[in-house]
A and B are shown apart, each in its own frame.
Chain A
Amino acid sequence: MIAEAGHFALILALLIAIVQSILPMIGATRNSRPLMDVAPMASLLQFGAVAIAFGALTHGYVTSDFSLKNVVENSHSLKPLLYKITGVWGNHEGSMLLWALILTLYGAAVGAFGRNLPPALKARVLSIHGMIGVGFLAFILFTSNPFLRMLPVPPDGEGLNPILQDPGLAFHPPFLYLGYVGFSMAFSFAVAALIEGRVDPAWARWVRPWTLVAWCALTLGICLGSWWAYYELGWGGWWAWDPVENASFMPWLSGTALLHSSIVVEKRDTLKGWTIFLALVTFSLSLLGTFLVRSGVLSSVHAFAVDPARGAFILVLLVMAIGGSLLLFALRAPALRSTGTFAPISRESALVLNNLLLATAALTVFLGTLYPLFLDVIGGDKVSVGSPYYNATFVPLMVPLVLVMAAGPMMTWKRADLTGVLMRLRLAFGGALAVALVMIIVTKGHKALAPLGIGLAAWLLFGTLRELAERIRLFQAPWQVVRNRLAHTTRAAWGMSIAHAGMAVTIAGITVASGWQQEAIQTLKPGDSVTLAGDSYRFDKVEPLPGPNYSAEQATVTVSRDGRTFATMHPSRLTYPLQRMTTADVAIHTDGFSDKYVVLGEPQPDGGWIFRLYYNPLVPWVWFGAIIMVLGGVLSLSDRRLRIGAPVRKAKRAEAGLAA
């Protein structure tokens, strides 16, 4: 009964979405307030209906309603409650429903909080957003309905996959989707602006918070996903350039570019066409990523989608959303005129360079991900690209990006004095050079990339600090002035400095972790020791460890350095009798600077056990840095100017333009 209510609510949501996409658009064209006012109401109702559907499916999972096919295939009565709930989105149908839930949540948020938007713009934005909703809800209802019943009702479910029962995996899809789907708002704003034929600083300021929310969530989602892969999969690495990771990384790259270019639109009233284009591309990449991963085209090109109807539906959706918006862009964007002009050396130019590099990076990942498919089409030699391709293309793009990243914020708008900026950065440059030299000495010149990466991280960090010091006139003005300037530094400015510093931390982590990882695979008998990176790991014993739905063997490994024991680690192997499946539970000892990472492998006939040990220096910094970036984003989001919206003067002009 509850499942039928959910099914009905989903159909209702589709109908509301259809109304939401048609009426407000007509209203905005005819300047009819009643029709335009349908939009916020419909967006709230649509969210409510999808929330009911989602709640109904969750109810099915929690109560283990095995008359639902989706629950049978993906749940089990023995599952812990937490994983029954997270199991809702651990499968194709449920995750599409989560997608729709988050999509409508964003729509409802604009409907409820977008009071400072001009009514026509708001109506158009929500209408476009409604169209996306129509596409997705139709996709769910026609090809991926989670509410299908099953007869006869089986006694228990099939899905109790132990690998999927993990908090990291359970919680990273919602964040990833908050990010992915959040870019739908920027997309809707961009399409609405193209229809209105007007992009101005006020528009940029309205879009910015939505882009920022999506960016923060996506950063966190990617960070959680990478961390999960690191501690759960037991291969000692944290990024593999696999298609699933790339699918989330591409929108991150173009979303980062969008975040920066929209600043230029807001402050300088230029780069309009490009910013609109980035907004369209970012969400298009999200769509492409979601679907390519969902349909399996990337990991297995042999079948585009398991269900041909699904594949065809996906392609039609992509063509309508991406093709339609790009066509509109081609027709309307050339008419967008910029008022701001800028010299080749200026903050605008620095941001343009940032954008070009980020866009190229996104394109690089895009080509690498789809390379096998492209080559297949032209019938050439087919090679799958791996991490060597990305290392060879990505690093050269990131070097200039980071170089500009430190200098850009110190440049003035319109026209900057490059010599002056470089002079002011000489200390930062000297510091970075010194750090790089130290690295060359430490590595004895063996690792070329390490001094470069660490030097870049230092350059970015010192440059960011220098910019901050200059902003508050530290060491240059009396303390009262510094305090005053400190108090008047906007949260957006703080956010920028913090996010850039976070990037420096991540770069340092990536460089050291990939340059100095050490690994050992060895068979040990109880009492044996192995030395890795100066630490001695002694294998003491293996003990059985009973669990609720598994049996485990837990090893005790004592880690010491120079005879002093500093850690006891417990890697284990879990056997799930019901699935007849074994997983390894990695033991990680971290001190914030390096990780000791021990995996218990299989027992050997001679009484020994296979151990895999990794020494991962600075790897926690990869995620620390990402979290710092998110904090910067959140701080920037809390900036008062974003909450109160556009300056009054601009808002008035928008109203006037509407009345005309």
Chain B
Amino acid sequence: MPPEPRSGLGRRLLFLLPVAAFIGLVAVFAFGLGHDPSALKSAMIDKPAPAFSLSPILEDRPGLARADLGGKPVLVNFFASWCAPCRAEHATLTGLAAAGVPVYGIAYKDKPQDARRFLTDLGDPYQRIGLDFDGRTAIDFGVYGVPETYILDRDGRIRYRYAGALTDAVLKTEILPRLEALAQP
């Protein structure tokens, strides 16, 4: 313990510090209750995607592993059936997939039956879907919360990360130009 200040007032203030710190923390939590953060910078940018191997959730669709990345630029989308913004962005993703962009999905902390129901109800844009049941792979990717979308280049490097629900505007300004640039030889 640091030497205690002699004066009565200083000593009292010292003991008030924890309360003050806690009030600040509560303010942060209260903020977190109703806030939806968007653009995030990731420490993983320009790093190779982490090693992972996830089992499939659909019979006709393969799972997803590190080995499946590379060769061509792809989108990797973390989603969950319990996540409302994921529902919101789903039509955008389906449109993107219909336009021929390869989209891989990772179901984050989801029950396989729920994820299947989600895809049956809303359509399935994913070429491959892996189940990240315990969220380990998401941690390795540096996922902050679902939905999040990553652009990986042909070497399997993470080039871009978008946190939050994709919209057509985001596609136009952020996603498509990057994909095009990466597709150039």
Contact = CB atoms under 8 A, between A and B. Distances in A.
Interface of A: 158, 161, 163, 233, 235, 240, 242, 271, 273-274, 277, 281, 297, 299-306, 308, 311-312, 315, 318-319, 322-323, 326-327, 329-330, 333-334, 352, 355-356, 370, 372-374, 376-377, 381-386, 388, 519, 521, 579-584, 599, 601-602, 610, 612
A580 B29 CA distance: 38
A377 B28 contact: yes
Contacts of A315: 26, 29-30, 33
Interface stretch (B93-101, B110-118, B151-159, B175-183): B110-118
Interface stretch (B10-18, B69-77, B119-127): B10-18
A233 B22 contact: no
A521 B51 contact: yes
Interface string B21-61: 01100111111111111011111000000011101111100
B42 A384 contact: yes
A579 B110 CA distance: 12
B: interface residue count bin = 35 or more
A114 B46 CA distance: 60
Q: Which of B39, B40, B58, B131 has the most CB of A within 10 A?
A: B40
A334 B33 CA distance: 35
A381 to B, nearest CB: 5
Given A163-B133, A302-B145, A580-B59, A242 B139 contact: yes
Which 7 pairs, one residue from A and one from B, show the smallest C-beta to C-beta distance?
A300-B145, A582-B55, A302-B145, A304-B33, A382-B40, A326-B19, A330-B16
A259 B15 CA distance: 21
Nearest to A169: B134
Contact of A318 (B11, B29, B31, B109): B29
Interface of B: 1, 8, 11-12, 15-16, 18-19, 22-23, 26-37, 39-43, 51-53, 55-59, 62-63, 65-67, 82-85, 109, 111-113, 116, 131, 133-136, 138-140, 142-146, 164
Given A158-B113, A382-B144, A599-B53, 11 more contacts: A235-B136, A273-B1, A300-B144, A302-B36, A302-B164, A311-B33, A312-B33, A382-B39, A519-B51, A521-B51, A580-B58
A571 B26 CA distance: 47
Contact of A384 (B27, B58, B142): B142
A318 B29 CA distance: 10
Contact of A601 (B39, B53, B143): B53
A610 B55 CA distance: 13
A581 B131 contact: yes
Contact of B67 (A271, A308, A610): A610
A330 B18 contact: yes
Contacts of B83: 300, 302-303
Contact of A302 (B8, B37, B43, B134): B37
Contact of B41 (A300, A327, A381): A381
A240 B65 contact: no
A319 B57 CA distance: 41
Contact of A323 (B22, B82, B138): B22
A352 B4 CA distance: 13
A582 B58 CA distance: 10
Contact of B29 (A304, A327, A355, A372): A304
Nearest to A244: B135
Given A323-B23, A384-B144, A602-B63, A240 B53 contact: no
Contact of B18 (A277, A610, A612): A277
Given A163-B134, A306-B82, A383-B43, A297 B15 contact: no
B41 A297 contact: no
Contacts of A318: 26, 29
A322 B36 CA distance: 26
A355 to B, nearest CB: 7
Nearest to B40: A382
Contacts of A356: 1
Contact of B146 (A273, A302, A377, A601): A302
Given A301-B37, A327-B19, A521-B67, A334 B135 contact: no
Contacts of B63: 582, 602
Contacts of B136: 233, 235, 240, 242
B31 A580 contact: no
A244 to B, nearest CB: 9
Contacts of A583: 55
Contacts of B143: 384
A322 B23 CA distance: 10
Contact of A376 (B8, B30, B35, B65): B35
A384 B116 CA distance: 29
A301 B145 contact: yes
Contacts of A377: 27-28, 31-32
A333 B53 CA distance: 53
